[in-house]
Amino acid sequence: MSMDEAHGGGMVSAILSSVVLLLLLGRTADAQRSLEFFDLLPEDPKLYDKMRPPKKDGQATVVYFHVTVMGLDSIDENSMTYAADIFFAQTWKDNRLRLPENMTSEYRLLEVDWLKNMWRPDSFFKNAKSVTFQTMTIPNHYLWLYKDKTILYMVKLTLKLSCAMNFLIYPHDTQECKLQMESLSHTTDEMIFQWDPDVPLVVDENIELPQLQLVKNYTADCTQVYSTGNFTCLEVVFVLKRRLGYYLFHTYVPTCLIVIMSWVSFWIKPEAAPARVTLGVTSLLTLSTQHAKSQASLPPVSYLKAVDAFMSVCTVFVFMALMEYCLVNIVLGDSDAPPKPAAPPPPPSSSGTDTAKLDKIFDIATKENAMLLSGRSQKSSAGPPPGPTPAQRARMRALNIDRVSRVFFPFLFAVLNVTYWIMFAEYI
């Protein structure tokens, strides 16, 4: 029993001492009182409805936006997305709040957690695929209360945004990528977003993109009419122009060189079939590799792009060079056919028929070709011929085709190139 009593007495004294300690602590805290959330609310906290925007004189609450873009990167044509690092500031005035007593400074830092119990704008990033909020070393946001009951909420975010791109004139294209912020649940009757009248948008001048150039940035309004009402929305627009340098040196110049390479065939003698065919086929293969490479980073769009048109024309050129050799070869005649072992005896009566004549001509041509190929001169055979043999005439015709091609192909290619570059000159 005595043990229990002693124990109980100890407990009472402990409680008493802690009460005294608390009172003391309370006193010292009073001397340098920190701001509590309830100090900001009206005298009767029931009067403050955090779901209702602070409408002054029945006017919709105006929320001012400011965006600082610190970085733009990872522009991905395949998934049509890009990434942006931003500081996003929202400013609004809540007249229902009470100011902390004797507020001498221009603004005061508040705990960000208090936002949960206050009215705040419900903006969201309309075209964001993902938003990353960084928490190192402390969560990257803050809340300020100004002397005139204006609240500023600033947050740093990394956004992955979608951007609809059109590649019709790729790689001469200019893309418009947006960053849209819309109200989730308040219609324009209750809340309106507006750009900060002083500094709405700041874009870092040092933004450097590998293939695109930021040529323009501006702010705009994108308020949407839905069946439920009008919802306020603001947007930042980045105008990105593709730099041609990369494509010039990795696509256009090599492709032109391959086409020019395919013309070398016109200067090779018609009999060198392996050389000329190999040159044509190699050019065709290299070109198709180039074509595939030129759109490795692009989504498989179903329309014809400018680079596709150029590549297709080049492919047609190389193909035509190969076909030209086909024609030359036909004109030259089938020189590889084995010569007939012996001339058949002329038929007695039907010697005048056309087939016999043709056979004879063909036979002579074959022999001539065989001699030409083996390098023996005509003179080694018995006696000088009276005129050019059919084989020689065929060879002359073949050479003429080559001669015409030597001028015609480069001329046509130059014309098409000039046409192409004049067409797209305005986008460069």
Nearest to 417 by CA among 284, 314, 321: 314
How far is 410 from 373, CA to CA, in rounded Å? 30
How many Cβ atoms sit within 10 Å of the Cβ of residue 376? 11
Look up residue 58 and give its two tokens: 């029945």
CB of 190 to ligand NAG, least distance (A): 11
Using CB under 6 A as the binding rule, the residues of this chain from 116 to 145 that contact ligand NAG are none
Out of 44, 101, 354, 426, point to the residue binding ligand NAG (CB under 6 A).
Answer: 101
Look up residue 35 and give its two tokens: 């701001």
Amino acid at 35: L
Q: Which span (122-130, 223-231, 246-254, 303-311) binds ligand NAG, by CB under 6 A?
A: 223-231
Out of 212, 214, 287, 307, point to the residue binding ligand NAG (CB under 6 A).
Answer: 214
Interaction of residue 209 with ligand NAG, rule CB under 6 A: no
Interaction of residue 192 with ligand NAG, rule CB under 6 A: no
Our CB check for ligand NAG shows the closer of 101 and 198 to be 101
Look up residue 57 and give its two tokens: 């004189």
Nearest to 200 by CA among 151, 236, 232: 236
CB 74, CB 212: distance < 8 Å: no
Which stretches does DSSP call E strand in 34-173?
61-76, 81-93, 107-110, 123-125, 128-133, 141-146, 150-162
Out of 23, 51, 225, 342, point to the residue binding ligand NAG (CB under 6 A).
Answer: 225
CB of 187 to ligand NAG, least distance (A): 7
Our CB check for ligand NAG shows the closer of 97 and 203 to be 203
Our CB check for ligand NAG shows the closer of 226 and 303 to be 226
Interaction of residue 217 with ligand NAG, rule CB under 6 A: yes
Which stretches does DSSP call E strand in 247-309?
none
- Number of separate helices (H) and strands (E) present in the chain: 8, 13
Interaction of residue 207 with ligand NAG, rule CB under 6 A: yes
Interaction of residue 205 with ligand NAG, rule CB under 6 A: yes
How many Cβ atoms sit within 10 Å of the Cβ of residue 184? 10
DSSP SS3 for 204: coil
Out of 229, 339, 344, 385, point to the residue binding ligand NAG (CB under 6 A).
Answer: 229
Interaction of residue 282 with ligand NAG, rule CB under 6 A: no
Out of 68, 158, 188, 194, point to the residue binding ligand NAG (CB under 6 A).
Answer: 188
Contact residues for ligand NAG, defined by CB under 6 A: 101-102, 188, 203, 205, 207, 214, 217, 225, 229-230
